[in-house]
Amino acid sequence: MDTKNSRSEFGSKEQEVKLQDDSLIIHEEEIEKIDRALIKLIKGAEAKCALLVDKDGYLITRQGFTHSLDTTALAALLAGSFASTREIARLVGEPEFSVLFHQGKRDHIHISLVGERSILVAIFDDRTTIGMVRLYAKECGEELATILGQAHKSKKKSEPAIDSGFAASAEDRLNDIFRD
Amino acid sequence: MVSINYAFREICCKIVYYGPGLSGKTTNLIYIHKKAPPQTKGELISLATDADRTLYFDFLPIDIGPVQGFSTKFQLYTVPGQVYYNATRKLVLRGVDGLVFVVDSQAAKLEENIESMNNLIENLEEYGYVLEELPMIIQYNKRDLEEVSSLEELEKCLNPRGLPYFEAVAVKGTGVFDTLKAISKLVLEKARGKSEPEGKKELISVSAESKSSVMPSAEREELEKKPYAPARESVPEAPLGKDSFEEVERDLEQPEKTYRVEEKLEKAREREREKEEQAKETVRLQKEKEEELIKVRLKEQEEKARKEKEGAERKKLFLERLEREMAGVERQKKALELEKIKEAEELRKKEQAALIEKMKKMEEEKKTLIQSQSEIEKETVEAERVSKEAVPEGPVQTVKADETGLPFQSKIIISPMLRQKKTKPAKGGFLWRWIQKIAGPNLDPKNRR
């Protein structure tokens, strides 16, 4: 029997590799670059804060006045909002709505797609205008897309982050924390 | 997929609670939120309808603190269970790291559970995930109710792969933490497995009697052909139910099993071929698309460059023209100014000339005047001389005022007339008023003396 064929039947290694490539791994130098771009956006557009969120709902990084915000929940909800918008786009026959804008009484939110899998979020108030935010967000988005694209390319070389003891020590912690 | 953030030293995993409507997914999260230590849990966010049915998802972040220097976080999501919320349910599955399938144990709900499981497989396929490759735990919920299916029956229908399972009563919290701990562990093990691929994976055989509709029909048939092995109990050390090559080879060594395996492999080969063809086709199509795209982009770029060039030239020309025009205008301005100055000078000269002429004229006039004056003087002198010679000297007539105090002239008009006629004009008559006007109050005899 040819093992090559049996392989594809039982454990599709290609798919596993593909899934592995999908996982989001971010290094310090990239974060530094991203932060710089976000600060530029905040200063240029006079926004309150800017967040970079993964489409899966993880917060990648944030800048500006975010102390009063629950950024974890915000990231998850924004990603959800964006996901549902994309689904709406699909239903109306549009490939993707790349920009979303929520207008409030005081604060407004500008959400734009960055590259393939990240979302750039800018929160701002009436000190600035939507036009300014839009302009700088577009500029920033392009910059971030190149940074993330490079990160994605260089990621394959990176060494594994989690070693064999990780799951075990995590289990100990879990047992400590979650006791009925 | 597990997110590893080296800058914040964070590892994030997404765990989704899946299952039919009202099976207790949100209840699981509520219990975890209620009982977890405050430093580990975030806020529970629930996007629910007014009737507390999940509309989009519930979200609970859990931070178990640093593990080997990495702050380890779990994001727990639930999906809306109701059938018609499939659109949002599918969205929640994006980037999932681990699944908890919450089963409603009530006998009447068995069909719904199976339907939900099939829906899960479908939705995962749309994202390109394979159920067998995702860490998954099954939770048999509502075990405290009276009319529940037996554990064996549920296992048969919903867990043909023999995944680890837990019995639970989510409202009371029984089994909730056990489920969470088990899935967390599986997810982290899987994350490690990704960075250090594990060679050995245990075979989990499936009961031959299993006739659940959970698996797609082709796979189910194959599984049914497999040799019987009793369903396993909760096995935490077997994260993935998957046959390895060694197992197949071992099977081949046993002659009585060979034909089944051969059949299986034949099918597998066919499928493999089909897949390869499909893959080739898609690759070809993609390439074509890409080429087209590249062409279009190149064209666009050329167009853009051309337009830019044209634009630049036009701009240049415009600027040049503008400059020329500006220069012309300047020149015109200067010429105008010069003309004005000249005109002004001419005017001034003319005025001067006119003035000089005027002066001359005036002088002439003066001369003539002086001349005529001297002539007149001469004449008067002559006349005086003549009159002295002609008229001898007499008394000088002097003008005197008469007794009315009026000058003679008025006396000549009024007095002689009044005295000669010895009548007075009637008072109030026209004449009287006229006289009164001329003579004033002196006319009244009372005022006279």
The whole-number average pLDDT for the span B275-279 is 88
Smallest Cα distance from A136 to chain B, Å = 23
Residues in chain B: 449
Question: Which of the four pLDDT bands, split at 50, 70 and 90, describes residue A132?
Answer: very high
Question: Which of the four pLDDT bands, split at 50, 70 and 90, describes residue A20?
Answer: very low
Contact B268 A6 (CB under 8 A): yes
Residue B391 has pLDDT above 60, yes or no: no
Rounded-to-integer distance, Cα B29 and Cα B42, Å: 12
Residue B337, pLDDT score: 92
Query: What is the DSSP code (8-state) at residue B148?
Result: B
Q: How many domains does chain B have?
A: 2
The whole-number average pLDDT for the span B411-434 is 60
Chain A within 8 Å of B145 (Cβ-Cβ)? no
B174: chain A residues, CB-CB within 8 Å? 180
Q: Strands A49-54 and A25-26, how do they pair? A: unpaired
Question: Which of the four pLDDT bands, split at 50, 70 and 90, describes residue B228?
Answer: very low
Query: B145: domain CATH number?
Result: 3.40.50.300
Mean pLDDT of chain A: 82
Mean pLDDT of chain B: 79
Domain that holds residue B127: 3-198+211-242
Name the more confident of B440 and A93. Answer: A93
A54: chain B residues, CB-CB within 8 Å? 3, 95
Residue B252, pLDDT score: 53
Residue B123, pLDDT score: 93
Residue B171, pLDDT score: 93
Residue B215 has pLDDT above 70, yes or no: no
Tell me the backbone φ, ψ of residue B425, rounded to 5 degrees: -65, 140
The whole-number average pLDDT for the span A119-138 is 94
Instruction: Answer yes or no: is B30 within a domain.
Output: yes
Rounded-to-integer distance, Cα B35 and Cα A87, Å: 35
Instruction: Answer yes or no: is B106 within a domain.
Output: yes
Residue closest to A80 by CA, chosen among B58, B117, B24: B58
Residue A28, pLDDT score: 85
A72: chain B residues, CB-CB within 8 Å? 42, 61, 73, 75
B271: chain A residues, CB-CB within 8 Å? 9
- Structure tokens, A73: 């929940």
Substitution target in B3, B73, B171 with the highest count of A β-carbons within 10 Å is B3
Contact A80 B47 (CB under 8 A): yes
| Cβ(A154)–Cβ(A142) below 8 Å | no
Name the residue facing B195 among A27, A28, A160 (closest C-beta): A160
Residue B418 has pLDDT above 70, yes or no: no
Residue B427, pLDDT score: 65
The domain spans of chain A are: 35-152
Rounded-to-integer distance, Cα B368 and Cα B348, Å: 30
B72-107 pLDDT per residue, tens: 999 999 999 988 889 889 999 988 999 999 999 999
B3-25 pLDDT per residue, tens: 888 888 889 999 999 999 999 99
A31: chain B residues, CB-CB within 8 Å? 5-8
Residue A53 has pLDDT above 50, yes or no: yes
The whole-number average pLDDT for the span B413-426 is 53
The whole-number average pLDDT for the span A59-75 is 91
Name the more confident of B127 and A17. Answer: B127
Provide the 10 A C-beta neighbour count for residue B205: 19
The architecture of the domain spanning A35-152 is 2-Layer Sandwich (3.30)
Instruction: Answer yes or no: is B307 within a domain.
Output: no
Query: What is the DSSP code (8-state) at residue B232?
Result: P
